[in-house]
Amino acid sequence: MQFAETVAEIARGIAVGDTSAEETARECLERIERADPRVCAFVSVDGDLALSRARKIDAARAAGETLGLLGGVPIGIKDNICTRDGHTTCGSKMLGSFTAKYNARVVDLLEAAGAVIIGKTNLDEFAMGSSTEHSISGCTRNPWDATRVAGGSSGGSAAAVAAGMVPAALGSDTGGSVRQPASFCGVVGLKPSYGRVSRYGLVAFGSSLDQIGPIANDVRDVAMLLAIIAGHDPHDSTSVVAPVPDYVTALDQPVRGLRIGVSSEYFGEGLDSTVADAVQAAVAELEGQGAQTVPIELPHMKYAIACYYIIAPAEASSNLARFDGVHYGRRAADPDDILDLYESSRSQGFGTEVKRRIMLGTYALSTGYYDEYYLKALKVRTLIKQDFDRAFDQVDVIVSPVAPTTAFRIGEKIDDPLTMYLSDIYTISANLAGICAISLPCGFDPNGLPIGLQLMGPAFGEQRLLQVAHQYKLQSDFRARIPPTPQAGA
Amino acid sequence: MSQSIAEATVRHVAHLARLTLTDDEVEQFTSQLAEILAYVRKLSELDTDDVPPTSHALSIKNVFRDDMIEPSRPPGETLHGAPDSQDGFFRVPKVLDQEVI
């Protein structure tokens, strides 16, 4: 069921006339119709709109125009990224009928490159979660095993790519929400450095942590998509004015002589031994290609989860204050007064996990606790960032697992928030430090579930990060394995 | 398990966050927040007296643009997501002559 072709191959096929954008979109819609009743990767799909956009691409080509890099390539967009057409629900009852009046910057950039937006993908409500179980649109299932989660919060995007419904999708990553689902679903997912990609039009969760990132089957596709969505945007003051390098050309450089950092902090207690073995084998593969392994220390890594679960909920509680039943979103019927309007609208509109994080964040920011929790976490964040600064003085990339286990069972952690939070252990420090990190497949466990390898690079070091990922993947044959084809009625 | 956070505190925080919680939610959040707070308190092991806080991973300080007048979005567009509006304004229940806090 996997798209046999990569983004680059599809674009080339359309550009040379082997196929048309309309035919490609039609195939994509058929695949969604076939597979999505089981996977539940999409929140909404507008087939007619996608086909009419595809026909415009075909008309442009027929008129002799040169198509963009993504001319006619179907792409899924996580449903917390605003699109002018259709709804942007964030998986929340609060925004169940919300429509945006503008496209997120990344959506404009993709469309300018010729991409055909096929639909919006499922997520944990407001991107808060690690399993895509917390969504009004239902739970996304892992294409490799429908009894297991796809990961989260960009579970819909990762599952849609893994199940061959689209060749690529965008997700967002606040603490691992692109990388962990990519790992669970056996695809490639990148969290760019903070400031690399405009967040304009991304519904804010943790503003100092959020980044939009691409998910695809291939490192080259991820590099190509990053080159398109990266860059400064006057509408996002945290997007950095820095040149966008040619990520794709850099991929072909060998890794010989590069220094790969390995920290024992990433291989400690709680890590499944199958995952550890697969990651160690990946390190050995890179060594075999001539990279040099360097032991590094990240002494504050063990504080990352505690630090993150103060900072992220604090920022979320502030960001989600805008959902007040007045400006947009759900409004409670017949409020007694303005206070009741706020409280009833919010209590009816938000799900349990979102309320839990708002509560946690409000507590951490409240008088008497601010210094003990929030300020303390900001200081520990400095220590975590300094650990990475020191490490990247010695190495080019750092290697680790993406998650301590492969995809867990649906329902397994939903009643135990702290256990769910702990599953983010290897991914969240990259968000705290603002560095870039990528997840790519490095093996399978005995149940046939994909294992993810994480590579981390310094801020704005995507070029080398993608290069190492690509060189590793060239030599690993994991892409040859594809999820089982969904059976009708299964 | 020792409760490090009282139900009354949970109700107070809910009010600050403009959330109305059911009794079940209060009970659930009291024990879950206690557990999460007990976990995050491991940060107190670290001496951070001389460590500056990081609120942002970038070194960007202030970002200014030229002070040029640009067209605003039309009021109709700003209000398009409003659940209730009238005459180009957001419509809310009466707020005067009322104790809000």
Which candidate from B16, B37, B93 shows the least CB-CB separation from A338? B93
pLDDT of residue B74: 83
- Residue A487 — pLDDT band, cuts 50, 70, 90? very low
In a domain, B27, yes or no: yes
CB pairs < 8 Å spanning A and B: 166
Residue B26 lies inside a defined structural domain of this protein: yes
Nearest chain B CA: its distance from A347 CA (Å): 5
pLDDT band (50, 70, 90) for residue B56: confident
Grade residue A387 by pLDDT with cuts at 50, 70 and 90: very high
B51: closest CA of chain A, how far (Å): 6
* Residue A480 confidence (pLDDT): 56
The pLDDT confidence band at residue B1, using thresholds 50, 70 and 90, is very low
Contacts of B18 in chain A (CB under 8 A): 321, 324, 339, 342-343, 346
Q: If pLDDT is split at 50, 70 and 90, which confidence band does A490 have?
A: very low
Tell me the three-class secondary structure of chain A, residue by residue. CCCCCCHHHHHHHHHHCCCCHHHHHHHHHHHHHHHHHHHCCEEEECHHHHHHHHHHHHHHHHCCCCCCCCCCCEEEEECCECCCCCCCCCCCHHHCCCCCCCCCHHHHHHHHCCCEEEEEECCCHHHCCCCCCCCCCCCCEECCEEEEECCCCCHHHHHHHHCCCCCEEEEEECCCCCHHHHHHHCCEEEECCCCCECCCCECCCCCCCCEEEEEECCHHHHHHHHHHHECCECCECCCCCCCCCCHHHHCCCCCCCCEEEEEHHHHCCCCCHHHHHHHHHHHHHHHHCCCEEEEECCCCHHHHHHHHHHHHHHHHHHHHHHCCCCCCCCCCCCCCCHHHHHHHHHHHHCCHHHHHHHHHHHHHHCCCCHHHHHHHHHHHHHHHHHHHHHHHHHCCEEEEECCCCCCCECCCCCCCHHHHHHCCCCCHHHHHHCCEEEEEEEEECCCCCEEEEEEEECCCCHHHHHHHHHHHHHHCCHHHCCCCCCCCCC
Give mean pLDDT, residues A229-251.
Answer: 95
Question: Which pLDDT score, from 0 to 100, does residue B95 have?
Answer: 83
ipTM score? 0.92
The answer to whether A326 contacts B77, with C-beta atoms less than 8 Å apart, is no
Shortest Cα distance, chain A CAs vs residue B39, angstroms: 7
| pLDDT (0 to 100) of residue A489 | 38
Q: Is A436 in the B-facing interface, judged by CB distances under 8 Å?
A: no
Query: Considering only residues 169 to 228 of chain A, which have any Cβ-Cβ distance to chain B shorter than 8 Å?
Result: 194-195, 208
Domain count, chain B: 1
List of domains in chain A = 7-255+464-480 (3.90.1300.10)
The pLDDT of residue A485 is 58
Nearest CB to B16: which of A350, A362, A373? A362
Is there a domain that residue B41 lies in? yes
Q: What is the pLDDT of residue A152?
A: 96
pLDDT > 60? residue A4: yes
pLDDT tens, residue by residue, A432-470: 999 999 999 999 999 999 999 999 999 999 999 999 999
Sole residue written with tokens 């690509």: A470
Identify the pLDDT of residue B58. Answer: 85
Domain that holds residue B35: 7-45
Average pLDDT score over chain A:
95
Residue B90 lies in a domain: no
Q: Is A306 part of the contact surface with chain B (CB cutoff 8 Å)?
A: yes
Candidate from B13, B42, B57 with C-beta closest to A362: B13
- Flag whether B34 is in a domain: yes
Residues 343-382 of A with CB under 8 A from B: 343-344, 346-347, 350, 352, 355-356, 358-360, 362-363, 366, 372-373, 375-382
Q: Do B19 and A317 touch (CB under 8 A)?
A: no
Distances (CA, A) of A193 to A33, A60, A241, A436, A463: 35, 35, 13, 4, 11
By annotation, the residues of A acting in catalysis are: 78, 153, 177
Q: What is the CATH number of the domain that holds B15?
A: 1.10.20
Q: What is the arithmetic mean of pLDDT over A54-78?
A: 97
User: Is the pLDDT reported for residue A279 higher than 90?
Assistant: yes
Evaluate if residue B16 carries a pLDDT over 80.
Answer: yes
A331 min Cα distance to partner chain B (Å): 6
Residue A475 has a pLDDT of 80
| A482, pLDDT greater than 80 | no
Q: Is residue B17 part of a domain?
A: yes
Mutate to test the interface with B, among A319, A359, A424, A436 (most CBs of B within 10 A): A359
For A174-218, what is each residue's pLDDT tens digit? 999 999 999 999 999 999 999 999 999 999 999 999 999 999 999
Would you say residue A16 has pLDDT above 60?
A: yes
Q: Is residue B51 part of a domain?
A: no
Residue B52 counted as domain residue: no
For A99, name the nearest residue in chain B, comparing CA atoms only. B81
pTM of the model: 0.96
